[in-house]
Structure 1
């Protein structure tokens, strides 16, 4: 089975969580694997065009949800873009014990699960 192309959407303040997730996928005991298509750094003024192209080429978008998400304009735009393009989206809590009280409007209806290998693996299998 080929690796799925997954766009990881995260607030820049949570870049270390994205790095950790990518590292988990590389672990030989990991039950999931994917090709990381996330934006690692902000692009120039054409970033939305570049980002949309990247998202459209993915099988799914995994959104890392933390308290930083509500103020992460880029991340919220990525989620909106994925919805517009009909790409499957799943949210994972960045921190089990430090979840935001309310989700931003852009995440309404998004199913957010705990960051566990099985939760991520099961979602990737549906892509």
Structure 2
């Protein structure tokens, strides 16, 4: 089976969690490849267009939800974009003290960051 392509939505301040996620996943296997919002955001409309295209090209979206997420317009926009584009969406809590679900996620679930939860999401794609 071909690997799934999954977009990672996250707050700019949580880039360390993104790096940890992708590094751990690379060691775990080749079930999926992960993309994120590249670019420096100097041209917001171009950045949004690029991100929307990346999300459209993905099989699903994982949102890394942490303490920085509520204040990150970019992360919340990426989540709204995933919902608007009808992509399967999973929120992963990256910090035990910040377990909340952004309203932008609609009916999508937030779960603990475990490889079982990630694998189950990928199997559903």
> Is TM (by shorter chain) over 0.5?
yes
1:98 aligned to 2:97? yes
Distance 1:5 1:41 in 2: 19
Inter-partner Cα distance in structure 2 for 1:42 and 1:75: 14
Q: 1:112 to 1:104 in 2, by over 3 A?
A: closer
User: Could you list the runs of 4 or more consecutive aligned residues of structure 1 that deviate by over 6 angstroms after TM superposition?
Assistant: none
Normalising by structure 2, we get a TM-score of 0.90
Name structure 2 gaps, 5 residues minimum: none
107 and 79 in structure 1: CA distance in 2 versus 1, 3 angstrom threshold = same
Change (3 A) 1:39 1:12: same
Aligned length: 123
TM-score normalized by the length of structure 1: 0.88
Alignment RMSD (CA, Å): 1.6
What is the correspondence of 1:1-127 to structure 2 with a 5 Å cutoff? 1-27=1-27, 30=28, 33-45=31-43, 46-95=46-95, 97-100=96-99, 102-127=100-125
Structure 1: gaps (5+ residues): none
